[in-house]
């Protein structure tokens, strides 16, 4: 679909990490972008740099989320905001409920859901995160069925390790935690960058209108999927 077919995008988690990069890419491609996150100051900083329209909202506050998007005609919805411990499934469902009917009516739209390799593979980690990301995967597949016959595309982006604040936030979000996360998870590794993710999304959106890129698994070359461990016990 040429970018010119789309006019608007909504990106959740748009004040840092992948979301900010995706929002910036869309503004460069000429879309009017609504960027949503909780921290208004950081949102304003990205808005000032990119021209996106900031929406300071907590996605877990369904009433505020509903009010923020009411009346908006969104062509590209990027469900990106997520927290590692509890996931963001409810907000993803609500945003689809709120914005997909308009896409169906206009016969035009693209939903991009950011899942994780945690939704596809089992390895040591946060159980709720694995479960909610698996649900985001299944939801993405289901939306294709629910919108059959309409020119609505659904792309699941399934990243491995990407250089963002996510691990530092998990460790508490303090400057020390951010540094510890950097040292532990990034310093000695070659991770995927947020630009790599935005580039992949750009490719999926720009694909011809008869092509739906359903699932893109994007991992560092040196990271492998899975995590099969075999514990030996003799007692």
Ligand X SMILES: NC(=O)c1ccc[n+]([C@@H]2O[C@H](COP(=O)([O-])OP(=O)(O)OC[C@H]3O[C@@H](n4cnc5c(N)ncnc54)[C@H](OP(=O)(O)O)[C@@H]3O)[C@@H](O)[C@H]2O)c1
Active site residues: 129
Which one of 38, 90, 94, 126 is in contact with ligand X (CB under 6 A)? 38
Number of residues that bind ligand X (CB under 6 A): 27
Among the listed ranges 8-16, 70-78, 95-103, 176-184, the one in contact with ligand X (CB under 6 A) is 8-16
Among the listed ranges 22-30, 66-74, 165-173, 207-215, the one in contact with ligand X (CB under 6 A) is 165-173
* CA distance readout (Å), 192 to 12, 17, 86, 195, 222: 20, 12, 23, 8, 10
Looking at beta carbons, which residue is closest to ligand X? 17
**DSSP string across 41-78:** HHHHHHHHHH-PEEEE--TT-HHHHHHHHTT---SEEE
111 binds ligand X (CB under 6 A): no
Between CA 147 and CA 166 the distance in angstroms is: 32
Among the listed ranges 33-41, 93-101, 148-156, 209-217, the one in contact with ligand X (CB under 6 A) is 33-41
- Return the number of other C-beta atoms located less than 10 Å from residue 57's C-beta: 21
Among the listed ranges 38-46, 137-145, 146-154, 208-216, the one in contact with ligand X (CB under 6 A) is 38-46
Between CA 201 and CA 33 the distance in angstroms is: 15
Q: Are 6 and 205 in contact (CB under 8 A)?
A: yes
Q: Are 60 and 90 in contact (CB under 8 A)?
A: yes
Binding flags for ligand X, 50-69, as an x/- string (CB under 6 A): --------xxx---------
Which one of 25, 169, 201, 204 is in contact with ligand X (CB under 6 A)? 169
159 binds ligand X (CB under 6 A): yes
Between CA 59 and CA 43 the distance in angstroms is: 14
DSSP letter at 185 equals I
Q: How far is the CB of 158 from ligand X (least distance, A)?
A: 8
Please report, to the nearest 10 degrees, the dihedral formed by the alpha carbons of residues 131, 176, 16, 163 taken in order.
-70
Q: How far is the CB of 61 from ligand X (least distance, A)?
A: 8
15 binds ligand X (CB under 6 A): yes
Between CA 74 and CA 59 the distance in angstroms is: 17
113 binds ligand X (CB under 6 A): no
Structure tokens at 140: 């993405």
Closer to ligand X by CB, 81 or 108: give it.
Answer: 81
Residue numbers 196-235 binding ligand X by CB under 6 A: none
Which one of 45, 165, 196, 199 is in contact with ligand X (CB under 6 A)? 165
Contacting positions for ligand X (CB under 6 A): 12-13, 15-19, 37-39, 42, 58-60, 80-83, 114, 116, 159, 161-162, 164-166, 169
């Amino acid at each position: 679909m040429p970018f010119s077919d789309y006019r608007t995008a909504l990106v959740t988690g748009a004040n840092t990490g992948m979301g900010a990069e995706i929002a910036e890419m869309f503004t460069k491609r000429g879309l009017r972008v609504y960027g949503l996150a909780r921290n208004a100051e950081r949102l304003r900083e990205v808005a000032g740099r990119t021209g996106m329209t900031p929406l300071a909202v907590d996605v877990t506050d369904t009433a505020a989320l509903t009010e923020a998007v009411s009346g908006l005609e969104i062509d590209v919805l990027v469900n990106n905001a997520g927290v590692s411990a509890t996931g963001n499934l409810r907000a993803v469902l609500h945003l689809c409920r709120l914005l997909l009917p308009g896409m169906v009516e206009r016969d035009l739209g693209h939903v991009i859901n950011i899942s994780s390799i945690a939704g596809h593979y089992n390895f040591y980690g946060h159980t709720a995160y694995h479960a909610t990301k698996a649900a985001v995967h299944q939801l993405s597949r289901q939306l294709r069925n629910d919108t059959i016959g309409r020119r609505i595309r659904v792309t699941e982006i399934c990243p491995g390790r990407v250089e963002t604040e996510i691990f530092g936030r998990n460790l508490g979000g303090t400057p020390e935690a951010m540094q510890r996360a950097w040292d532990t998870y990034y310093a000695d590794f070659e991770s995927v960058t947020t630009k790599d993710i935005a580039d992949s999304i750009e490719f999926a959106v720009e694909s011809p209108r008869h092509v739906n890129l359903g699932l893109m698994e994007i991992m560092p070359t040196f990271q492998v999927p899975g995590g099969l461990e075999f514990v030996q016990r003799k007692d």
